[in-house]
A and B are shown apart, each in its own frame.
Chain A
Amino acid sequence: MNQFNFQNEESVLIYFQEIATSEKIVRKEEFEELLTQYSKLFKNFSRMIRISDKNEHRLQTISHELSIEKKKMEVVAEQLSRYLPKQIYRSIFAGDYALELKTRRKLLTVFFSDIKGFTEISASLQPEALTYYVNKYCSELSDIAMRHGATIDKFIGDSMMIFFGDPESKGEMEDALACVRMAVEMQLRLSELNAEWMTEGLQYPFLTRIGINTGWCNVGNFGSTTRMSYTIIGGEVNLAARIESLCEPSGVLISSETYGLVKDFVVADEKDLVTLKGIKNPVRTYSVRRLLDDGEIDTPPITLHIPGYDQVLINTHQLSLPDRLDLITSLRSVLSLLEGHKND
């Protein structure tokens, strides 16, 4: 540590100590007392500076150690965040989330998805390729979910469980609508991805079923005090899973409760009442065909005039979501072929 330079003060002290020994000095006792006090003050002053420097050095050391620890914590926190719903992670690190086994009842919109024929897909791919496609699939769907404000509960193999309404809610209608919008965007994105992956040589596309239900669930921390999981349970969660199993591949099937909340914003086909395993009463579902844009009125059918062919009439309103996605994929392929010929 640097030593402060007190050369001037020391020379003053030495000078006046020499004078104090002189016989000629008047009021000698008072002069010596002043010198003693000066000497003491000087000693204390130099001591204070040394203490202050030591404290500052200590604080700098601690500050440096803290910044290193903070960086380590940030890396760990970032890694940990991938194992937790983003909202829960943010709440924990903001210090406003109680880590206790506690649940509450909330009106949630619950989403389930899975991939049709995943067993066959798994068997047809090398493990590395399967890992690549599954991770890409999950990442794409997760990104869409996060953009819509979803809470991603868990991945179960090829299935995803997501919900809206906790820990943040924009209101039951907005939550339900966000969920349906998310589901439609997921299917649109998957149709693009499947088209890409098929050109890469993927044998079976990742055709996904989606089921959505809105109802009162228990949400919170379940498990033990040493290992807990933030999740939802209840009959309405099971119903969402059952509805998902009824959905046609590439479709979005919603319960009548969800439909009641979003009916002004979607075009959907009412399905027959069905009896589902473990569900007491028959269930009415709706297959989402498409989302209605703000202030949208009916648009006329699309008519294609192709020389040498009959007129092709596409009534978009009557297409189911899977049929619409199929058509998009087919038209993209046609477009790609035509563009290829144009370059010939």
Chain B
Amino acid sequence: MKNIEISAAQRTPKVSLDVSRRIFEIEGESYPEDTKKFYEIPIAQVLEFLALKHQDEVICKFKFKYFNSSSAKVLMDLFTAIEDSANKGNQVKVEWYFIFDDDNMKELGEEFSEELSYAKFELIEYS
């Protein structure tokens, strides 16, 4: 499986998957003009990656400043896949980053964490 390395743009986040280190990362703002077109290929690959059997922990990092509703739907599908992966025996950890005074992003993280019971979840504040 290939790594993913998509740079951030004005309306789209940085998306990366380091297969050997088992780290998936998404960072920035997400309000693409065409959400399906932007996420379709990388997310399909990440879902495929999560469906594999992993000996060591998989880490999924989310570091958003803003995302719109259609991006939220993509995140829900991702969280479902993360939980399924953990449910099947993988060790999966979600790291949800938020800027120290961004209560909204913190609450959104908490909202998404409700989807998880097998996967680990950690809220991480940064400045």
List residues of chain A with CB under 8 Å of any chain B CB: 40, 44, 47-48, 50-52, 54-55, 57-58
9 contacts between A and B (CB under 8 A): A40-B80, A44-B76, A47-B76, A48-B69, A51-B69, A51-B111, A54-B107, A54-B108, A55-B66
Q: Is the CB of B69 within 8 A of A47?
A: no
List residues of chain B with CB under 8 Å of any chain A CB: 66, 68-69, 72-73, 76, 80, 104, 107-108, 111, 114
B64 to chain A, nearest CB (A): 11
A33 to chain B, nearest CB (A): 15
Chain A positions within 8 Å of B114 at CB level: 47
B109 to chain A, nearest CB (A): 11
Q: Is the CB of A57 within 8 A of B104?
A: yes
Chain A positions within 8 Å of B107 at CB level: 54
B73's partner among A44, A50, A54 (CB-CB below 8 A) is A44
Q: Is the CB of B104 within 8 A of A54?
A: yes
Chain A positions within 8 Å of B73 at CB level: 44, 48
A interface SS class: helix
B123 to chain A, nearest CB (A): 16
The total number of A-B Cβ pairs within 8 Å is 27
B interface SS class: helix
Q: Which residue of A lies closest to B112 (CB)?
A: A47
B81 to chain A, nearest CB (A): 13
B46 to chain A, nearest CB (A): 18
Contact flag A58-B69 (CB < 8 Å), given A47-B111, A51-B111: no
Q: Which residue of B lies closest to A57 (CB)?
A: B104
B23 to chain A, nearest CB (A): 25
| A326–B31 alpha-carbon span in the complex (Å) | 72
Residue of B68, B69, B80, B114 most packed against chain A (CB within 10 A): B69
A1 to chain B, nearest CB (A): 9
Q: Which residue of A lies closest to B75 (CB)?
A: A51
Chain B positions within 8 Å of A47 at CB level: 72, 76, 111, 114
A89 to chain B, nearest CB (A): 30
Q: Is the CB of A58 within 8 A of B104?
A: yes
| A51–B114 alpha-carbon span in the complex (Å) | 13
Given A47-B114, A51-B72, A55-B68, 7 further pairs, Cβ under 8 A: A47-B72, A47-B111, A48-B69, A48-B73, A51-B69, A57-B104, A58-B104
Chain B positions within 8 Å of A51 at CB level: 69, 72, 108, 111
B67 to chain A, nearest CB (A): 8
Residue of A48, A51, A55, A57 most packed against chain B (CB within 10 A): A51
Chain A positions within 8 Å of B111 at CB level: 47, 50-51
Contact flag A52-B104 (CB < 8 Å), given A44-B76, A47-B76, A47-B111: no
| A57–B108 alpha-carbon span in the complex (Å) | 13
